Each structure stands twice: as C-alpha cells, then as structure tokens.
Amino acid sequence: MSPHHSAPAEANTDPTDHRDQPAPTDQPDPADQPDPVQEPDRPDDPRLLDYNAWLFWERADEERRAAQRARQRAVLAATDPAGDSAIGDRTFLSELAMVQPTALRLGARCYVAAHAYLTGTVTAGDDCTVNPFAVVRGTVTLGDGVRIGAHASILGFNHGMAPDRPVFRQPTSERGIVVGDDVWIGSHAVLLDGVTVGAHAVIGAGAVVTRDVPEWAVVGGNPARVIRDRRAPGRSRRDERAELGARLAEFADRARAQADAVVARVWEPDATAPDGTPTGRYLDAPDAPPTLRAHADAVEILALLHGRAPAQLPAAEHVRRLRQGQDPTTGLTAGLSETGRHGPPPAGFGADGDADYHVLSLGYALDLLGSSFAHPVGAVAALDADELRLVLAELPWRNRGWGAGAGVDALGTALYWNLSLDPAGPDRARGQLDVLFGWLLTHCRPGTGLWSEERAADGLLQPVNGYYRAARGSFAQFGLPVPYPERVVDTVLRHAADARHFGPGRTTACNVLDVAHPLWLAARQVQGHRAEEVAAWAAGQCGPLLERWVDGAGFPFRQPPAAGPAGREDRPGLQGTEMWLATLWYLADLVGVAESLGYRPAGVHRPEPVVQLG
C-alpha cells in the first residue's frame, strides 16, 4: 500500500451500498492514441513536501532538512518534560501542521502532513503516517505501521452532556484510544474515545468507530460494523456462517466434555449426613462463598449440556435443598450466610434482591429437575390490583432501570408459578397478569420501545439492561408481542455501539445478554429490520467469546482487562458459565447457526414462552 492511498476500498464495497456502478465500456486501441505530450521539467512547488510528506527525506535539500530538525527540537521542548517525548530517525513534521502535544513519542520513519492537528498525549511506533487535515487528539497510542487517511479524526477524549449546564461548560474525560500494528484508517473515518482497534484491521473511509474492532477485521459504516476478515478476501456471508458454525460445534463438544469438571471444581465438600448424603455446598468459584444461585447455576449447566442433574447429589437431594429455604408465608427464599446456612425469612417482595432473584433461579432449577416450589409466592399473590399498580409505579424506573426491570422479572415469574401453586386458583394470578401487562403497555416509551430514560453518566446501559429483565419476565415468558419492536431494535443497536460498556474489562455476560435477547425477541416481530447489522454484531461477539473459555473452569462473568484478571468477575465461575452458554445460543441464532451448538436453553434463559397467554 503506498503511503498516500488513504481511502480503503471497503468504503464502497459494503453490501448495503447500492450506488450505481459505471457500466463497462470498450477500451480504445493504444495504437490509435497520439503520443503523450512531453512536458518540460518544472521545479517542485515549495509546498509539495508538506502534502507529500513521505518524499521529504528523499527530496529535501540540506537547508530544509536543517529547518525540519529545528522544528522537531522546538516541538519536543514545548512538551511536558515528564512525558518522555522523543522523535525517531527520518520522521517528518510539516511546518503547516499544528503539532502541540502535551507528550509526543514518534518512532522512526513517521510523518505528519500539512494541516494535520495533534494535541494531547500521542504515542506512535515506527512507520506511522498522519495525512493532510487528519486530527489526532487526546490520549492516543498507535502501534507500528498505522496509516491515517486525510480528514480522519482520532479523538481520545470526550465531552460530558449532562442537562445541568451548557455544552461548552461540560467537563471532559479521557479513556484513550489504542490502535494495534498494521492498521489502515481511511479518509474521513472517526474513532471515538475508549475504543481499541486490533492489529491488521482496516477502517473503511467515513466509518464511525464506536466500539472495539477485532484483529484483521475490515469495518465500515456508522456505527462501524465488521464487513469481513481481511485474511479471507471475497468470502461470502454463507462461508462466514459456515466457519462460525464449525467453531461453535467444536466449542460445544469441548464444553460438554468438561461440564462435569466445571461444576465439580466449585463443589465444596463437607461432612456427610448419617445416611451418607453429602452435605457440601456449591460455590460460584473456588474463592467465593456458597450461594443458592450457584446451586441453581450448576443445575442449569448440566441440564443444558447433558440433560441431567449434577453428579454431586442425587436428583431428589437437589430438589430438597432448592426447596428447603422457602418461607411458607411469603414464598420467598433467603440467601445463605458465609457458613452456608439460610438467612432469616425475607420481609416481603422487593425487600431482598437475592430473594427476589431466587424466584427465577431456584424456580427454574426445580423445573429442570421435574419439580417446583413447595409454596406459592404469597408476597405477590396477596397484592390486589391497586397494590400491584403501586408496586410497579414505585420501581426505580428513573434512576435504576435495571433494578426496575429486575422487579418486573421477579413479579412476572412469581405469577407464572402461582398459576399452578396459588390455592386461590389461576384466576387470581391471571387477573394480576392483566394488571402487569396493562401497566407495561401504557408506560412503554414509543420513541425507544423501553421503559426507562437514557442517563448522561452511562447512556442506555440501565434502560437496555432493565428492558431485558422486564421483557424476559413478561412478554417473552408469556408469549406476547413486545410493543414498538422496530424502536427496540434501533435503540438496542445504538446501545451496543457504546464503547463504555463493551471491550476488555467492560464486557460482561449481563451487558451482552441484555443486548442479544431484546434483539432476538423484537427481531422475530420485524423480520428484516436492520437484520444484517444485528447478525454482524452477533457474529462479532461470538469469536472473542469462544476464546474466553477456560478449560476445566468455564467462562468468567466479565471479559478480563488487557492487563489480566483484576477481580473475581474476571475469573471463571458458574454464573459466568451459565449466562455465557445461554447468551452464545442467542448470538448464534441471530446469525442463523444456533443448531451448530446442539443445545437450546431450557431454564431461566429459555427462548420459548412457558405459557401462551394470547
């Protein structure tokens, strides 16, 4: 690639680009053409080397070379002395470029052409180029051989946009941009703060990169999405799906072979009862305390991959343990203490987040074992229509959309269990479901399809994550269509492009599942609406996810930071394993290759409704 070719061809090869192409024409015979006119030699325009910066050290006379060395010394003298600034051999900074960094470190054979604009903390390896009118600002780190096309913008900082003050008075933040080796960034492309671009990637002209770009990916569009793998030019979508399907099948075989070891790893043996029954407990990870959710996750994993209960206990003992802590009055189950004992009965619905989630996790684990709760969820069954409306209205929709959605999920699931367990019969639970769905339908926002507002601090994270929980426990669980499905797809895709929540140290099982499930649910009602973008996003998640599996241990809940695991969430555990296995199915189904996995979620994350209300 020549240094001045700064508009990758992929800019105009996007399959969604339907602009007319010129028709082929007959080419004239060269013999019929006149001899080319020989132009006389002319002196170079004095500005030539500022715009064709790669020519500088070949063509510049000694006077201009001396001036260039003086310019570099002046730039370095103006930087922060603590910034370890340096400029490598045969690097060129145009006199017409604005180069005013806080710290600058450029390797050998780099150039900054006319009208480029560099500020902040900029670090680049060897053979990097910043072409005319390109902008590199904030904290930006470039590997070797990074080519930045004309008019591109690499913006390693951001402005706030809280409504409490004018935009020009907003504070700024800097997470920085990291670009790997051998990356080509096309003309007019924009990279936003917080993204990482993998080595050997190509950013198409005009692309707006809002999330991390995998190695070797060719991306384009706004927001940028993966078009293909640079190592396999010309591959069709069918070929890519086939390759992904093969990788998924291979992974699923490996996960099945290791499932028993993954669960056995977190079984904490203890003494045995007089009848010889083990009295151990399940932990989420070897360094975590025992929890009922861990027990439910162990049941889910073995049911998903092998259709049976974990081998540490007989199936009847699994059932007994999952049922034994349920309070007969409220129908709720308290969590375990550090020693593995049940806590005091919860005061009521909404008083204990763990107890509310046990309505889902324990209830569905029992369902997978062919059993159920011993008692109805009395804390929900006791609510009349006005009380239920009040509970819904008082959920934290404004500030904590995820918490509000979790409340709806627990309510809806409690009503499902109560359809068969409530002594008052299914009529009472059915009447409460009418209130629940009426409230959700009349409070859904037509502009986004969600129930909560975007926040300046974290964008759509809370509204989208809360939407997943609320929709899972209501519309998905009871087989009813979601309102405003096209707006849901639009809004969730916009959230999926927010780099603040996706990437090393940021991507969690919740964040991806809470995108994948709403896209899957809504897309079934509006087939074809942005389907290619949805499939490309899902495919882009699958490859990196498969690489995070740890043999014999499973998946970590969070993608570890680039520097390595920093906390418990970055290391494998049952919660991460159970959630990512289910999420992988949704991602694969959005691409159209879910059958390659050979399994289908059947517990908390089941795709089918448990009952059809329609």
Q: State the burial class of residue 584 (Cβ atoms within 10 Å of its Cβ: 0-12, 13-18, 19+).
A: buried
Which tokens is 310 given?
């974990």
From CA 281, how far away is CA 298, in angstroms rounded? 11
CB 440 within 8 A of CB 388: no
From CA 208, how far away is CA 221, in angstroms rounded? 6
From CA 293, how far away is CA 322, in angstroms rounded? 10
From CA 466, how far away is CA 473, in angstroms rounded? 11
Beta bridge partners of 119: 100
* Strands 177-179, 196-197: pairing kind: parallel
| Residue 18 among the catalytic residues | no
Query: Which member of 159, 295, 342, 517 is catalytic?
Result: 159
Q: Please enumerate in sequence order all residues whose Cβ is within 8 A of that of 96, keeping only pairs 6 or more positions apart, or say none.
A: 47, 50, 114, 115
Task: Count how many Cα atoms sit within 13 Å of the Cα of residue 118 in the half-sphere of its side chain.
Answer: 32
Task: Count how many Cα atoms sit within 13 Å of the Cα of residue 467 in the half-sphere of its side chain.
Answer: 38
Cis peptide before 223 (omega within 30 of 0): yes
CB atoms within 10 A of CB 214: 17
- Which uninterrupted H or E stretch holds 57? helix 56-59
- The full DSSP string for 336-354 is B-TTS-B-PPPSSTTS-HH
Per-residue CA distances from 275 to 243, 271, 272, 279, 457 (Å): 52, 11, 8, 11, 56
Per-residue CA distances from 484 to 400, 416, 450, 477, 521 (Å): 22, 24, 9, 18, 12
Which tokens is 472 given?
């899972």
Beta bridge partners of 478: none
CB atoms within 10 A of CB 485: 18
- Please name the residue that has the structure tokens 């910034």: 83
Which tokens is 499 given?
């780099």
Active site residues: 159
